[in-house]
Copies of this chain bind each other. A is one copy, B any other.
Amino acid sequence: MDAVIFKGPFEVAVERRPKPEIIEPTDAIVKVRVSGICGSDLHAYRGHQKTEGGYIMGHEFVGTVVKTGGDVKVFGPGDNVVSIFSPCCMKCWYCLQGLTNRCTFGAAFGFKALDGGQAEYVRIPHADGTLRHAPTGLDDPLLIMMADIFPTGYYAASRAIEALHTQKLSRLTSFPKDSSTSTDLQSLTADSVLVCLGCGPVGICAIAAARSKGIKTIFAVDSVRDRLDEARDLGAIPLQLGADDIGEHVRAATEGRGADGVIELVGNQEALRSAFDLLRPAGVLSSVGFHQADLPFTGLECYLKGLTVSFGRVPVATVFDAALECLKENEKALRHYVTHELPLAQAKEGYQLFEQHKARKVILCV
């Protein structure tokens, strides 16, 4: 079969590889229809994440089940599916806690440990936990968002909003004069001011999710004009890095306090420091960016700000249903999000376009 192989920094190639076979009875084989190129593929592509080459790339894919192992109960040949970006067994302690991103058997598709889905076929470990039946009415360019970027954006936004909700709830518990006030998440957090740092694909999904959850004021920060246009179309206030005074805009919207929450999706020290500086005292930071360096704030700064911060990636299986509902609500706005549909053979060009910000989202059609 044809497969996209990572050769080294800025080098991918379509090569012939053997078709994958069932290894464990919990495996399934999926014939891939469409595979996405994700921002996190660029960590390896750009050489930021050191990794030996030779494996099949890609952790976003949709397709059809063609073969299943003897222990697969939920799926069978012919099923139209989307895969979560890393396997989850749904049986280990972490999966049973809903921390499916920490599954004992977890290993992201598209790295050395587990071949990915930018290929004609892909082997799915723990298929019953890892796959999801494709919902009717969602075409592939939207469906593929459910493999990673939409749940990731949804989670990044939800985590910030839930932390603000918890903060607000404690006030209501102690000041019962407000007992007529609704305690639901949307009522309590709608007036919170959020900043989304980074408006690539995940940022766009985070903004869509935050809007669906009722947040009225979201500042969208990026350097790429096209991304800011997309963010504006979703109802965010675009601010361009290098052109706009981000802090000034955020302070003007908050009587000088700073943002209630920041969603950080960039993954470098500068972005994380901006996030910290943009937050008001006791603000909340949801960081999904893949950070490699030291944290750019001291213990004293964290103490004095009263910071709450969450790091790390999404448990897709746990948020899947809620995220899917949210994606459907935003279907119209996200319908044209995929700007480039290329044949698998043009994977190299796809990576180049995406890496150079010449494409919003690239998918490879097998």
Residues of A within 8 A of B (CB): 93-94, 96-99, 101-102, 162-163, 166-168, 170-175, 255, 257, 269, 272, 281-282, 287, 289-295, 297-300, 302-313, 315, 317-322
Contacts and interface: CB of A to CB of B under 8 A. Distances in A.
B319 A174 contact: yes
Nearest to A315: B170
Copies in the complex: 2
A257 B102 CA distance: 11
A272 B299 CA distance: 9
A302 B312 contact: yes
A299 B290 CA distance: 8
A81 to B, nearest CB: 18
A304 B320 CA distance: 21
Contact of A312 (B168, B305, B312, B321): B305
6 contacts: A94-B281, A96-B171, A98-B174, A292-B298, A292-B299, A308-B310
Nearest to A291: B299
A166 B168 contact: no
A296 to B, nearest CB: 8
A18 B146 CA distance: 69
A306 B311 contact: yes
B93 A255 contact: yes
A299 B294 contact: yes
B102 A306 contact: yes
Interface centre among A96, A98, A294, A299 (most CB of B within 10 A): A299
